[in-house]
Amino acid sequence: DKTGTLTKNEMTVRVVLTASGRVSFTGSGYDPEGDVLPEGGGPIAAPLALELARTLEAAACANNAAVEERDGGWRVQGDPTEAALIVAARKAGLERGALESRFKRIAEVPFSSERKLMSTVHTDAKRRDRLLAMTKGAPDVLLSRCSEELVGGETRPLTRERRAAILAANEQLAGQALRTLGVAFRELPKSGFDPEAAAESVERDLVFLGLIGMLDPPREEAKEAVSRAKRAGIKPIMITGDHPRTAAVIASELGIARRGDPAVTGRELAEMRDEELERIADRTSVYARVDPEHKLRIVRALQKRGRTVAMTGDGVNDAPALKAADIGIAMGITGTDVSKQAADMILADDNFATIVAAVEEGRAIFSNIRKFLRYLLSSNIGEVMTMFLGVVFAEVIGLGGRSDGTLVLPLLATQILWINLVTDGAPALALGVDPAEPGLMREPPRPRGEGVITRPMWRGIVVVGAVSALGTLLVLDASLPGGLVEGSGSLRYAQTMAFTTLVLFSLFNVFNARSDRLSAFRGVFANKPLWGSVLLSLALQTAVVYLPFLENAFSTVPLKLEDWLICAGAASSVLWARELEKLGVRLWTSRRPKALRRPA
């Protein structure tokens, strides 16, 4: 995961370290209001003030961002890191407009993930005989390109001891979860400068200016989102260009990694063979100082381990990894057009919490599809089994033995069509808006090859269908003379009883279909459209039984209150049967080892 989805992207410069000391900045975000305070208090000494000004000048010039006040707030165009440097310069009294007037840019060497540096070349209105190259980038990389250091108003050779001290200071800042940036400059002769060869001629023999430590606070919802993702069986992985210690500290604060777990660096990845990377991929949560090809290797290593990989990215160099991932997610705000084209989806707000919310919504939608299928299949199987068993066992239940030798069906064709219209319509659609089951985000992901309908689902579907058919035929038998249960009603009365019972079976079954694990009585009133559809279906069935013109159309007779009670009592058996089965499933699941549990 790119850290931009986990943080606010409101980078704020907190500290600048130069040869003569340390300066802290107050304020937050992109509002240029804030104080510049030297370590120990008091006024800023002249050498430190000069070094600070030169450092912030270079950081603001080697910069393509813009910060402007609009609609009562400060808006950023460009990279948040570069915007933070402009704001810090303004806090120190360096206006962007004045800097641009003095230092006219004539060339640029853009930042790249391989070099981890950005450089610009400027003319100097106060020194027309020279050009100034301004460079910023990863401190360890930048330091290797420097041969001198600015101390006060003069340059001095960068000794081994000073290099070690700067790197130690960089480690210290990184350990405080600050993102660090190094700044340097170089004077160039004006004659003979070739802008086309700037990359080779500029980024060497630099004069080191200072370290800048910036804070990018985590989003308030990020920690909870990471926790929810991990509970859902999703492993968040941080892949960043930050310093390893910065990445490790941020990851531990967010719960991505345990405190003290080291980050695997791009240099270590470059030395690893693919087989070794596959071995560590499952247990590594943080990668730092990575190059674009490393991201692609990480994705492929995880896929070879059988993982389904979702990769987020925003840059042009992220496109191969986004394309290779099972789900490529481009950033909607900071993402480039190339990354968006390579991705499968675009994250509109660049927020990791939105990804987790989308997973929950996706699980809820998939669960509702299963509810829909569970209900329709079980109800229709109940109808099919009623007709099939009613024909096969017609003599047993009192439907056979007519004087003309004709076979009598348990239900008429019009009644079957009516059942499909009344019970397969509104109640089934209402299941599509059923709230997500409690604990949905505590279930592990589905196996990659698992179908929409699982074996436990088929078992429940068949059980419901069988109970519905047997209950309907039992009511039919008890309403007719002869058969297993002696009755005294007419054929039309018996068919009306069976017709109504099968409708009520479907209406009771719709509450069963809400879950294969949880009781139908849990959150029973949470889905108001479902209750509305059940009451509508019940009203329509009542109309068929009592309205004369519908009685003639569907060959029904009016039923008494005790008849309705018999139909409802028989139909409710499907609810109690499934409740007992679900209870058994829950008890069996609770006794299994946690690692072996899977959603039904």
Catalytically active residues are 1
Question: Token pair for residue 245?
Answer: 């210690």
CA 363, 364, 365, 367 dihedral sign is positive
**32/12 Cα distance (integer angstroms):** 10
Q: Are the C-beta atoms of 368 and 434 separated by less than 8 Å? A: yes
> Largest Cα–Cα distance of the chain, in whole Å?
121
d(CA 237, CA 234): 10
Q: Which amino acid is at 211?
A: L
Distance CA 131, CA 125 (A): 10
Distance CA 47, CA 20 (A): 7
Amino acid at 8: K
User: What's CA 281's distance to the chain center, in Å?
Assistant: 20
DSSP 3-state assignment of 156? strand
Residue count of the chain, please give it. 600
CA distance 158 to 152: 14
Please name the helix (run of DSSP H) or strand (run of DSSP E) that holds residue 347, with its range, or none.
strand 345-347
**83 and 211 Cβ atoms separated by less than 8 Å:** no
User: In the 8-state DSSP scheme, what is residue 114?
Assistant: T
Check if the beta carbon of residue 41 is closer than 8 Å to that of residue 137: no
51, 137, 309 from 185: Cα distances, Å: 12, 12, 42
